[in-house]
Chains A and B, each alone.
Chain A
Amino acid sequence: MADTSKKLTFWGTFMNGLVTENPTFTLMLGMCPTLGVTTAAMNGVSMGLATTFVLVFSNLFISLLRNIIPDKVRIPSYIVIIASFVTMIDLMMQAYLPDLRAVLGTYIQLIVVNCIIFARAESFAAKNPPALSVADGLGMGLGFTISITLLSMVRELFGSGSVFGYTVMPASYQPMAIMNMVPGGFITLGLMMIVINAIKKMAAGRGRREEGLA
C-alpha cells in the first residue's frame, strides 16, 4: 500500500500500480494467467487489457458501494460485481474477437478469481473514493498488461521465433519448445525478475548517491 500519511493523488496512485507495486513483478499476483497465456505476445496484450477493463470497473463500483456493502458478506458481493464485468467482456470477445477468445479460452472466465482484482478490491477500492479507485485499477491493470506482454514477447521470441506473429528469427532457427510450456514460463519470469530487481537496485543506488552529493 502507498504511504497513508501522504495524500493520495490520481497520478501517484496510477504510477504506484504501474511501477512501484507492479502486480506481476513486485506483488507476484495473478500468476495463473501470467504463466498460462503468455506464449504469444498478442495473447499477453489482450489478456492484460481484458483484465484492466474488469479491474477498472470493479474497482469503481466496489468503491461506490463501499459504504453500503455489509462487512460480513463483502467477498460474495465483490464476486457478483467482478463476475458481471467478466461476463460482459467474455460475451463481447465472443461477438467481436472470436478467434482471440478461442485462444484465451477459459482464462477469460478465470479473471473472476484473479487475485489482482480481489487484492485491489479488498485493499484499495473498499477504502478509497471512486476516482482514486479508478486510478488504481488503471495503474494495476496496465502494469499487469505491460508485464505479461514483455514476458510473452520473450517467450514467443524463443518458443516460436517470432514477435506479435512476425517471424524475426532466421529460418534456420529451431524453436525452443520448452518456452511454450509452463516450465518455460517459470524460467522466463524468474530471469525477468532478476533483471528488474537489478535495475531497481541500481536506480535506488543512484538515488542515494545523488542525495549524498546534494
Chain B
Amino acid sequence: MQQMQKKLIIASSPHIRDSVTTRRIMQEVCLALAPAGIAGIVYFGVDALKLILISVCTCVLTEYLYQRLMNQKVTAGDWSAVVTGLLIAYNVPASAPWWIPVVGGVFAILLVKQLFGGIGSNFANPALTARAVLFISWGSIMGSYPVTRYMEDAVSSATPLALLQQDPSQVSVWTLLIGNHGGVLGETCAIALILGGVYLIIRGIADWRIPVSFICTAFVCFLLQGGFDLALKEVLAGGLLLGAFFMATDYVTTPTSVPGRFIMGAGCGLLLFLIRAFANYPEGCSFAILFMNVMTPMIDRFTMPKYFGEVKKHG
C-alpha cells in the first residue's frame, strides 16, 4: 500500500513547477528600477531619496498591517509592495511634501490592491491608480516640477512635454537622454529607464510585446503629427518609457494572449498620443495605461485562443 501511494500521485495542475518565485521576480524589477532612481537622486538631491524611502516604507507597512489585522497570511515580504512604492515615488515630483507618497502608498496598497484581494487580484496597476488620485487631488503639487541641480536655465521649470507640442527644436535629444530636465522624480533620465527596461526583457520578466508595441504606436502617431524630430523626442520625454517598461507590463492587469498584448501596447500608445496632442493634460501616460488596464478582461475575451481541434459552431 505504501509503495502504491508513492507511484501514483494525483494532483491538479500545474504539474511543472519552476524555482522562480514572486519574491525573485519583484527583486529583479527593483534592480531594473534602480538606475532611474539613482538618476533621480543625482538630479534632485536628498529630497528624491527621502520621497523614495517614505513611499516604499508606507507601502510595505500598509500591506503588513492590513494582513495582520485581517488575520491573513502576511506576504508583505514578497517585495511587490516595494515595487509599488518605488513606482509611486518615481511618479511624484521631487518637490512634493512628505505626505504625498504616504497618501499614495496607502491608497495603492489598501484600496487598489488589498481590498480587491491582494497580489494578483488588483483590477488596475496600484501605483498608477495612486498617481491618478494624487494628480487629480493635488494638481498644483503634482504638476509643479522642480529644476534639476545641473540646469543652466534655472528659471524655467516647464517639462519638455509642454515645450515639445509648441516647438520641438526647444528641447535637445541629448538633454532628454541624460535626463537633465524638469519632470517627476523617476521619469527624466531616458538612458536609465531604457537600461532597466532592456534588462527586464532580457531576463524574461517583462514581455517585450507590450513596451515595443506601445512605443512604436506612439512613435508612428507623433511621426504623422509632426515628423521624425517630434516623434523621437516625444518618445524620450515624459513618463512614456517609465510607463511602457515598468507599468504597462504588470502581469495582473495585462492580457494573457499574444495578440492581446499587442492590442494592449498599441492601445496605450494611441491613447497617450491622443491625450498629449489634443487633451488638456500635458501627460497622458498614466491615464492611457489605466484605461487599457480596465479594458484587459475584454481584450482577453476577444483574443481567447482556440482549443486544439475546435471548430466553428454552426447555427
Where the two chains meet, the residues of A that have a C-beta atom closer than 8 Å to any C-beta of B are 174, 176-179, 181, 183, 187, 194
Contact = CB atoms under 8 A, between A and B. Distances in A.
Contacts, number: 18
A194 B116 CA distance: 12
A187 B136 contact: no
Interface in B115-167: 115, 133, 136-139, 141
Decide if the interface of chain B is mainly helix, strand, loop or mixed: helix
B111 interface: yes
A177 B138 contact: yes
A176 B138 contact: yes
A194 B139 CA distance: 29
Closest 4 pairs between A and B when the two form their complex, measured CB to CB: A178-B137, A176-B137, A178-B136, A177-B137
B162 to A, nearest CB: 22
Interface of B: 103, 111, 115, 133, 136-139, 141
Contacts of B141: 174
A10 B135 CA distance: 50
Contacts of A183: 133, 136
Given A174-B138, A176-B103, 11 more contacts: A176-B137, A176-B138, A177-B138, A178-B133, A178-B136, A178-B137, A179-B137, A181-B136, A183-B133, A187-B111, A194-B115
Contacts of B111: 187
Nearest to B110: A191
A174 B137 CA distance: 9
Max count, chain A CB within 10 A of own CB: residue among B111, B137, B138 = B137
Contacts of B138: 174, 176-177
A103 to B, nearest CB: 22
B159 to A, nearest CB: 21
A70 B141 CA distance: 61
A156 B103 CA distance: 18
Contact of B139 (A177, A179, A187): A177
Nearest to B136: A178
18 contacts: A174-B138, A174-B141, A176-B103, A176-B137, A176-B138, A177-B136, A177-B137, A177-B138, A177-B139, A178-B133, A178-B136, A178-B137, A179-B137, A181-B136, A183-B133, A183-B136, A187-B111, A194-B115
A174 B133 CA distance: 14
A187 B138 CA distance: 17
A181 B133 CA distance: 11
A181 B139 CA distance: 14
Contacts of A174: 138, 141
Contacts of A194: 115
A35 B299 CA distance: 30
A132 B165 CA distance: 66
A187 B137 CA distance: 14
